[in-house]
Structure formats: C-alpha cells, structure tokens
Structure 1
Amino acid sequence: MFLISCLLICYLIRIARLYYRSYWSVQRLSAIPQPPIDGYMTGHGKTLNKWKKENKMLELWINWHNTYGDTFVFYISTRPIMWTADPAILKEITTDLRHYRKFDGLPNRSLYGQRLVGTESILSGNGLSWALKRKVMSQFFAKVNMEELFYKCKPHMEETELSRWKKVIGSGKKIELHDQLAITFTSYLMVMGFHNFMGSEKIAKNVYKILEALPKQLNSWLSFLCSEAKDETVKMIHEMRTEAKRAVMASNKKKNVLKRRGEKPSTTNMLGFLIDANNQTVSGQKRSLDDTTIFTIDDIMTVCLVMDNMVKQISSLFMLLNDEPECQRKMFQELRETSIDTFEGLNSLKYTEQCILECLRLRPVLTRGTRTYNFKKEEECKFGGYIVNERSVRVVFSEYVLHHSPKYWEDPEKFNPERWYPGFVPEPFSYMPFFVGSRGCIGKHMAMMLMKLTLSVLARNFDMEQDFDPDNMPDFTQEFAVMRLKNNVDVWVQPHQPTEGC
C-alpha cells in the first residue's frame, strides 16, 4: 500500500510539473501568434487529432497560416513547436547548418527496432560526415552527368521494362499504376550498379510494405506491435539489408581484385559512389570497415525508399490530369511526337516538364519538413523577430502550404501547366518540391530525367486512360510528412494504335 501511495504521489508530482512547465511556456511565448490551445496538458492535441482523422491536416496548416500569419507557435502536448512560412526564416533554415539540424526523432531511422536508414545516411545525417558524403555523391548526381546516365537508362526502359509492361498488359488491362511504376523505377537501380541486389519486383514490394508501416508505427504502435504485419515488415527490412551487404561486399571484392592486378578501380555507378562516400575521413579518423559497410547499407536503403517518390509523383500527375483531359492530350501528343533518341530530345519535352512541375507544386512528395534549431548560449533567442526564450526549438514548415498560397500563386488550387512558361521564376522560397539550399534534394536532376524518360516510352507504346471508382476516388493521406497514396490509381492501358498525325 505504501509503495502504491509513493507511486501515486510521484505521478501527481510529474503531472503538476508538466502542467507548470506548459503554463509558463505558453506565457513566455504569448507575444508570438498562436491558435487557442485545447488545454495546458494537451496543447493542440485534440485539434490536431480531429483534423488528422478527417485527413485534413494540411488544410489545418493553411487555415492557421491564413489566420495567424507566416510565423506562429502551436503545442504538441506540452512541447512548443514553431511553425513558419516566412521566406527569411526558410532561407536561414536552408543555408545555416550551424544552427539547424535534421530532427533525430523522425521515424525513418528504425522501424519496430529494426534499423532502417540510421542517423547518418545521405537523407538523415548531420554534421561533417554528412557534408563530406554529400560532396562525394554530388559528383554522381550532377546535372552534367545526367546525359551519360540517360544513355544507360534509355535502352533498359525501351527493352527490359517495356517488354515487362507488354507482358503484363497484353491486349488491354486495368492496372494499378503505382504498383507497375514502382517496379519500373526500382529497376533503374540495376543500371546504376545494384545488379547484385535483389530483383526490382521484390524491392518494390518491400518498399511499399515498409512505407505503409511507418505511419502505423507512429499512430498505433501498441496495436501494431504484435501483429503479423509488423513481423513481416521487420523481416523485409532484414532481408533488404542482408542483400545490400552482399552487394557492398561483392563490389569491394571486385575493387580489391583490380588493386591486386595493379589496376586503379574507377567509380562509374551509384553503388560505387555510395561506397566511396562512406570511406571518407571524418574528424581525422578512419571509420572501421564494419562501420563503413553499415553506413553504406543505410544509404542503399535510403535510395530504395526515395525511388518511390517518383512513382507517387507520376501517379499524382494522372490523378490531376483526370480533371484536365486537354492537358493530358497535349502532354501525350508531345511525348509521342518528340524523338528521345538523344538527350537533347528528352530535354525538349517542355510541356511534359511543365506538367510535372505543376504536379510537384500541387502534390509535393514532401508535404512538410521539420528542423531542430539550437541557439548558442551567448545569443539572444530570436525567431522571426520574436523572443523565444528557448535554447532549442523544433521548427515545422510546409511546402504544401507555400505551394497553395495565393500570396505567391494565382488561382493556386488549379492545375495549370501554362503558368510555367519559359523564363518563369517563382518567388524565392515559395516553391520547394525538392527543397533548396545545402540540404536540397541531391537527386532532383535524376528524378526529372527518369520521370520524363518513363512517360515518353510509355506514351509512345500505350494508350492510358484513368479508370477511377467515382465512389472511391484516388486520394493521398495528409498524416505523414511524405505523401502516401490512400488508394489505388487505376488506369486502363492498351497498346497504342497510332492515328494519322499522332
């Protein structure tokens, strides 16, 4: 009885401390605009959960932004979160790596205890090791190298992948677009040095399951913990990491053979660059062989996961084109009439590029981002002109809100590829589908090239028409930072029958 009383007293003291800390946090930040809280212990939790259940989280951000301005504070439980769409702050977030760090609490580090991409991958890392790694990888992803990569990927798409699509479709078939595109985009990895890795269909399936499980870990961790789906997902991660290790070891073995022959190994593919990037010296000390292998595996997992972003983008494009048949007709006409025998031909697909850019605006893969802002002791803790009185602040911003703001875009909810006329430049920090600055997406040039290449080959060989269920239209979930499709994007596909002038 005495023990129970002590535990109860400790619990009540803890609750009282949290309430006290939350109350004074609200008072300290009262000069900063903020929506009315639901309660000192819940912050804006009830409001956030309500809008999340209705799949309207992004609409809530837009409403708050329109009501409270570019910078305001809200609370998750008792923790204050700074929200901003201020261009000056966004510029600082994207350039000042001394203060801003990736938030280590995001769920892309591990899944149900199974290491996913770790904390030092090219996506999730911080500090010097990440900067050195990115410097090496930027050589592979540089815009000037896309021509060479195009000539490697083009025959693969026109032969291997086109044959697979023809086999799946036959004389005509309704397909789930995301599933087929996932295999296609994953298969490009085979051209980039991952031929010793598992097959593209297996990777695509595993990635889909893993990405499906990530929000479940966030939202219903306990109910999902003992489920078969959890065990299946952990098994998939383990399998992928084991296969990735074999690919790394095979690549290292090949390099060692060349060295023994007195030949200098040359790095020409993505896998080779990932291995080289993880062999960099960090803080004057060499990583151990085991560490280098583990971090390279983390990067391979990262690459596999982000390849799905291009899949979601093209699926989203077909969702948007469903309401704009004239835009779809013009895009397919350009794709069929433009030869892509050369890299210059691919770059001449201007209207297609405009459609992709507009899709990236309306349906960005990354709907929001978060950073941790750490102030130095001698500095005054200011954020957006406000005194924060916190040494460490979590900052949230939303690409989706910026892309839908009438402040920067005329008729922002309309799909209008023509707004991307030649020479058009958006307002700084109003368009960030690939983010910007030193942490901008390193693979953005590759993504644009692969999306245009894939669309071109498919359009020249197939007629594709949306076949959506009017009672269950394709949609995306707003509960996660990375866009996820809620249901299938069904498309009727049949071999293209050229008509005169097409």
Structure 2
Amino acid sequence: MLVEVLILGAVALVVWLLFFKEDENPLDKLPGPPRKPIIGNSWELFQSPPDKLLDVLVDYTKKYGDRYVFKVMNLRVLHISGPSDVEAVLAHSKNIKKSAPYQFLKDWLGNGLLLSTGAHWHRRRKILTPTFHFNILKNFATIIEEKTQDMVKMLKDKKGEDVSLMPMISDFTLFTICETAMGTKLDRDQSSATVDYKNSVLNIGMQMLSRITRIWMHNDVIYKNSPQGKEFAKTLSVARSFADDVIMDRKAQRAQNQGVEETESSDGIGTKRRLAMLDLLLEAEEKGQIDMEGIRDEVNTFMFEGHDTTAIALTFGLMLLADHEDVQDRIYEEVENILNGADHVTMSDLADMKYLEAVIKEILRLYPSVPFIGRDIDEDFKMGDLLVKAGTTVDVHIYELHHREDLYPEAEKFKPERFLGNEMKHPYAYVPFSAGPRNCIGQRFAMQEMKTTLSEICRNFKIVPKVKGARPRLMADLVLRPVDPIYVKFIPR
C-alpha cells in the first residue's frame, strides 16, 4: 500500500512540475487568447483547419496587437509583428535556432541550411555562399533567360486562353533551379517525375501543418506509426528520390568531364557551371568537408526553397499585374528604353530596372512567400522593455508586419511607388527574405529570376485577369499559398 501511495505521489509531483509549477514569466502579462487548464491554447490549434490557420493568426494580431502569447501545455509562444521587435529577434547573433515545428521536416531536409544551427550551420553557409557570387549569377543569367523564352513561346501558343498560373510557373522555377544551381536539365524529361516531385512538396506542406495543429502527433513515435505518418513517409520518399536522381545525374556528368579543364576568371571564381551549388558540394565532398548525406540535405533544401518560394511570388505577381494595366505599361516602357531593341537582357540591364524592382518589392510586401518565421530562444534577451527567457518560442509574423497601416498607408492596395526612393520607416519594416544572420542566401538569385521573368512577360504580353479584382483565399504551410487556382490571359502585344 505504501509503495502505491509513493508512486501516486511521484506521478502527481511530475504532473504538477510539468503543468502547474512555473517560474514567474514576463510574457504572462501579455495579452492572448484565453487558455484552458493544462492544455493552454492547444484546443484553438486543433480547431483550426490548415487552410484557416493564417486567418486565425491575422485575427489574433488585430485583436491582441503587436505582441501576444499563445500557450501550448507549458510552452509559451510569443507572436510579434512590430518592426523593433522583429529586429530584436532576427538580428540576434545567437538565437538563430529554428523553432520546433521545423523539426518535423528533418526527415526530408536533414541538417541542411534551413534547419541546422550553430557551428554546423556556419560551416555549411560558408561552403554555399560562393554559389551566389555576382560572377556566378552572371553565368546563370543566360540559363534564366533561356527558360523564360521557352515559357514565352509556350504562352504565345495559348493564343489568349485562360492559363492556371501555379502549375506553369512552378515548372519554370523548378527547371531553372535545377539547371543553374544543380547543373542538371529537367525539361527534356517527359516523365511524370517532375509532377510527382512538385505534388510531394505541396503535400509535405499540408501534412506538416496538419501535424502542427495536433499536439499528440508531435511525438515522433506516435506520428510515424499513425496512418498520417505513414502517408508522410510515402510523400518523403518521392521528394528524396527525385533529389537523389539529380545528384547522381550531376556526379555522372562530372565523371565524364574529368580531365577537361574548365576556365576560371582572374579572381579565382569559377565560370560556367563549375561552381553551381551542387558542384561546390561535390568538390567539398572530395575534400572531406561534407558527406553524401550532407549533400542530399542541402540539395533537398535548395530544390524546395529555390523553386517553390519564387514560383509563389511570381504567381501572385502576375495576378496583381493582370489587375493593373498601368503598372504593366510602365514596366514595358522601362524595359524597352533600357534594352533599346536588344534581344538579350544583361545583369546591368536588370540593375537599371528600378521601377520593376519596386513592383517586385510591393508584390513581396503584399504576399511574402514565407509569411512567418519561428525561433527557439536558447539565451535570455531583451526585446525592448520585455525580457524573453530561454525556452520560449518566438514567431515573427512577416505577413502582418507587411500589412501594418502605420508603416504602409492603404496597406491592402498594390502601390509599387512605395519603394521608389522613399526611406523605409524602420530597417526591419520589410523582411521578405528574412534578415540578420539567417537571411535568405539566395535572395539575389530570386530577384534576378523574377526581374528577368516579369520583364520578358510584360515585354511580350498584356496580362488580363479572368475575373477583375478577384483574390484567392490564402493559406500558409511551408510557404504562403493561394487556396484556389489563379487564372490570367496572356495577350501578345
């Protein structure tokens, strides 16, 4: 009897320590949705369908303001959307660890650049940074333009029919990232592999979001043995095998080209495809700096981040341009004046397209490809007057930040002139590529690709909406997505 009493007492003590006994925490003074005993706000998460979660979070920001706390069991999640708070989090040199939900992607992205932290992250970032050196981006320009011209020809064949944007643009960005960063052509492959891969990325996002909102599925053992976890494993198999094929294809090409000397520029930065990202990784493997598993992690990371985020931005961008003929015409005039009849666009030409750059910035303000970023706090730090303790999770709400009326008057309107010569009200008021030490390594590549694509499309077509003023419902999984298809017409000029 005494043993049973002691066991019961021990269990009660553990429950009390886990759920009831807590140190005072400054975050508890912040507003937030009402919490239930023990489970906190877990029920709100469970009640939110994946395609409604973004709406719920936006509504909470409107209701509770720039800072509010969401509690899940004994974990505090601080949600922020004020520029000074965003700076305090993103600019911190040590609190760079991605939040726990990102770990649900570990079976896919491993210890790649998106998920890794600490010294491991620093080593990988150093290996990969030369991929996006200006001289390398110059060599990518020809490939990006070729892919854009292929898309222009395809759109001319549509003869003004309605085009569903996301499937077409996703093909374009996937082919482009594979031929530039991976050095591998995909568009000659007529198999279903690319379609299966794109669908797998979409499914991974939905499956991850579903898991986040079901607290009991956070445990790996429970999840992997559940029907949902087994379905996720099948999806991962498709995504990983596609990336493995890309790696093996490039390795075979390198083996065939052994002994063929490739040119290098005078500053030692390789030209042509020699320093494509995958080549850099394979060279690092030969030097013992990375193993094949590490290469696989980085390729999976860049295949996803290098095509899906840019495809989303271009899709929303073409939707907005279709509704604003005046903006299209101004882009057309700028491009024609800069190119002056030339057939090919150069990096210098792209740099001169200041109005187009403002248009792209406004697209990314309204529809940031990554609507929020999560950080696990490893070290206490001050966020203005607020102490944020280690063990907290902070979610940076980029979408809400970009829609603040105090920073962007008439925030819901598409007004590219916001970014023409006006100083930002705060250096962290606009962070579509994140900021600070974990900013997006490929942001210059993304801007180059978007500028080339939109300039060529506006040069060749007038873009017309299927339904003027129509806007899709939005959801956020791995990226911001339209729930409904977006259709426009491309009318040759």
Q: How does 1:40-119 map to 2 (within 5 A)?
A: 40-50=37-47, 52-53=48-49, 55=51, 57-65=53-61, 68-106=64-102, 109-110=105-106, 115-119=107-111
1:275 maps to 2:273: no
Secondary structure of 1:37 counterpart: coil
Q: Which residue of 2 aligns with 1:132?
A: 123
Say if 1:28 and 1:194 are closer, same or farther in 2 by CA, change over 3 A: closer
Task: Supply the distance in 1 between the matched residues of 2:63 and 2:46 (Cα, whole angstroms).
Answer: 20
Q: Which residue of 1 aligns with 2:218?
A: none
Unaligned runs of 5+ residues in structure 1 are 1-5, 281-285
Deviation (angstroms), 1:172: 3.5
Q: Which residue of 2 aligns with 1:351?
A: 355
Secondary structure of 1:374 counterpart: coil
Deviation (angstroms), 1:303: 1.7
Secondary structure of 2:76 counterpart: strand
Is the contact between residue 468 and residue 489 of structure 1 (CA under 8 Å) also seen in structure 2?
Answer: no
1:123 maps to 2:120: no
Amino acid at match of 2:450: M
Task: Supply the distance in 2 between the matched residues of 1:150 and 1:381 (Cα, whole angstroms).
Answer: 43
Task: Supply the distance in 2 between the matched residues of 1:451 and 1:481 (Cα, whole angstroms).
Answer: 20
Task: Supply the distance in 2 between the matched residues of 1:462 and 1:47 (Cα, whole angstroms).
Answer: 46
Say if 1:16 and 1:465 are closer, same or farther in 2 by CA, change over 3 A: farther
Is the contact between residue 247 and residue 278 of structure 2 (CA under 8 Å) also seen in structure 1?
Answer: no
Q: Which residue of 2 aligns with 1:215?
A: 206
Is the contact between residue 54 and residue 474 of structure 2 (CA under 8 Å) also seen in structure 1?
Answer: no
Amino acid at match of 1:43: G
Deviation (angstroms), 1:58: 4.2
Which fold has the larger relative contact order, with Cα–Cα distance below 8 Å and residues 6 or more apart in sequence? 2
Which of 91-100 and 173-182 deviates more? 91-100
Task: Supply the distance in 2 between the matched residues of 1:54 and 1:271 (Cα, whole angstroms).
Answer: 34
Q: Which residue of 1 aligns with 2:219?
A: none
Task: Supply the distance in 2 between the matched residues of 1:415 and 1:14 (Cα, whole angstroms).
Answer: 57
Say if 1:320 and 1:341 are closer, same or farther in 2 by CA, change over 3 A: closer
Secondary structure of 1:175 counterpart: strand
Secondary structure of 1:408 counterpart: coil
Task: Supply the distance in 2 between the matched residues of 1:163 and 1:344 (Cα, whole angstroms).
Answer: 25
Aligned length: 459
Q: Which residue of 2 aligns with 1:149?
A: 140
Q: How does 1:402-481 map to 2 (within 5 A)?
A: 402-468=401-467, 473-478=471-476, 480-481=477-478
Q: Percent identity?
A: 19
Q: Which residue of 1 aligns with 2:216?
A: none
Is the contact between residue 156 and residue 191 of structure 1 (CA under 8 Å) also seen in structure 2?
Answer: no
Deviation (angstroms), 1:147: 3.2
Is the contact between residue 22 and residue 79 of structure 1 (CA under 8 Å) also seen in structure 2?
Answer: no
Q: Which residue of 2 aligns with 1:385?
A: 385
Task: Supply the distance in 2 between the matched residues of 1:279 and 1:15 (Cα, whole angstroms).
Answer: 56
Task: Name the Cα RMSD after superposition.
Answer: 3.6
Say if 1:327 and 1:274 are closer, same or farther in 2 by CA, change over 3 A: same
Task: Supply the distance in 1 between the matched residues of 2:100 and 2:185 (Cα, whole angstroms).
Answer: 29
Task: Supply the distance in 2 between the matched residues of 1:456 and 1:431 (Cα, whole angstroms).
Answer: 23
1:225-277 alpha-carbon deviations (Å, 9 max, x no partner): 456xx576244224213303313532553575459xxxx99533232123345
Is the contact between residue 475 and residue 481 of structure 2 (CA under 8 Å) also seen in structure 1?
Answer: yes
1:185 maps to 2:177: no
Q: How does 1:172-321 map to 2 (within 5 A)?
A: 172-192=160-180, 194-196=182-184, 198-199=186-187, 202-203=193-194, 205-219=196-210, 222=226, 224-225=228-229, 233-250=235-252, 253-254=255-256, 257=259, 267-276=274-283, 286=288, 292-306=291-305, 307-321=307-321
Is the contact between residue 176 and residue 491 of structure 1 (CA under 8 Å) also seen in structure 2?
Answer: yes
1:29-66 alpha-carbon deviations (Å, 9 max, x no partner): 4653132433022312333445x339554454445445
Amino acid at match of 2:410: D
Deviation (angstroms), 1:293: 1.6
Is the contact between residue 142 and residue 445 of structure 1 (CA under 8 Å) also seen in structure 2?
Answer: no
Deviation (angstroms), 1:208: 3.4
1:138-173 alpha-carbon deviations (Å, 9 max, x no partner): 222134643333244324433x44444445x2x342
Deviation (angstroms), 1:223: 5.2
Normalized against structure 2, the TM-score is what? 0.80
Deviation (angstroms), 1:71: 3.5
Q: Which residue of 1 aligns with 2:374?
A: 370
1:479-502 alpha-carbon deviations (Å, 9 max, x no partner): x352122121112234x1x4xxxx
Amino acid at match of 1:360: L
Q: 1:32 aligns with which of 7, 29, 33?
A: 29
Amino acid at match of 2:118: G
Secondary structure of 2:29 counterpart: coil
Amino acid at match of 2:423: F
1:283-303 alpha-carbon deviations (Å, 9 max, x no partner): xxx45xxx6222112212222
Amino acid at match of 1:210: V
Task: Supply the distance in 2 between the matched residues of 1:96 and 1:363 (Cα, whole angstroms).
Answer: 25
1:59-96 alpha-carbon deviations (Å, 9 max, x no partner): 54445445545434221233211223454543343343
Is the contact between residue 58 and residue 400 of structure 2 (CA under 8 Å) also seen in structure 1?
Answer: yes
Deviation (angstroms), 1:433: 0.1
Deviation (angstroms), 1:441: 0.7
Normalized against structure 1, the TM-score is what? 0.79
Say if 1:17 and 1:178 are closer, same or farther in 2 by CA, change over 3 A: same
Say if 1:416 and 1:38 are closer, same or farther in 2 by CA, change over 3 A: same
Q: Which residue of 1 aligns with 2:220?
A: none
